[in-house]
Structure 1
Amino acid sequence: MIESLPEARCADSRAMALRLAALSHPARIEILKRLSASRCCSCREIVDHLDLAQSTVSQHLKILVEAGLVRFEADHQRSRYAVDHSALASVSASLTDLVNSCCPGR
């Protein structure tokens, strides 16, 4: 029988799973790379660099924002997006902790 996890650990695991799910699509990885190459971008600027429709990029950005990996800011008539570097670093640290706990001595 699996013992019940404390609520805080469950919340941390859910947050990590949400972020990893957001990273599970190649287009979202490419969007993060594009955002990382500049301070911030509009959806249009991302579309101009990727072979994707504006509606597709918008949907992927929405998923990245909901997962907390990308910050959104309204800028007059355009929306601006930027990578949340601390959130991405948190994913890296959580994944490292998971690997280390599953594979001690690696």
Structure 2
Amino acid sequence: MVQINKNRIEINGNIVELPYSILEAKEFEQCILVIFDYMEFNQNSVARNFHSIKQDGSILWVAENPTTQSTDAYVHFISLDLNGHQVVVNNFAGYTCTIDLADGKLLKGEFTK
């Protein structure tokens, strides 16, 4: 079970400290999907704030963003499709994004604003 407290995640009794505050996190197989607080990233560039991390805190991948706008940042999970091996997340720039859980590649970015 995963518990979140600001920039720390407790995973099965082990505490992992991460570089940014966490907005949301979800367990997936042997990793944790983490959306960090985009306000802690450089406000003049894309926030690369959606990561997949191992239970020891090391990074597996950083998700691709749909644009190069400074407002491009992930904000929350919509759904997790284990059979399709993908996750759908909302983006502050107005996109609904489908991300491949294997490597963080952007499979689909649909402007919905």
TM-score normalised according to structure 1 size: 0.23
Kindly indicate which of the two structures has a greater share of residues assigned to helix. Answer: 1
Q: Which has the higher strand share?
A: 2
The TM-score normalised by the length of structure 2 is: 0.22
Q: Greater relative contact order (Cα 8 A, min sep 6): structure 1 or 2?
A: 1
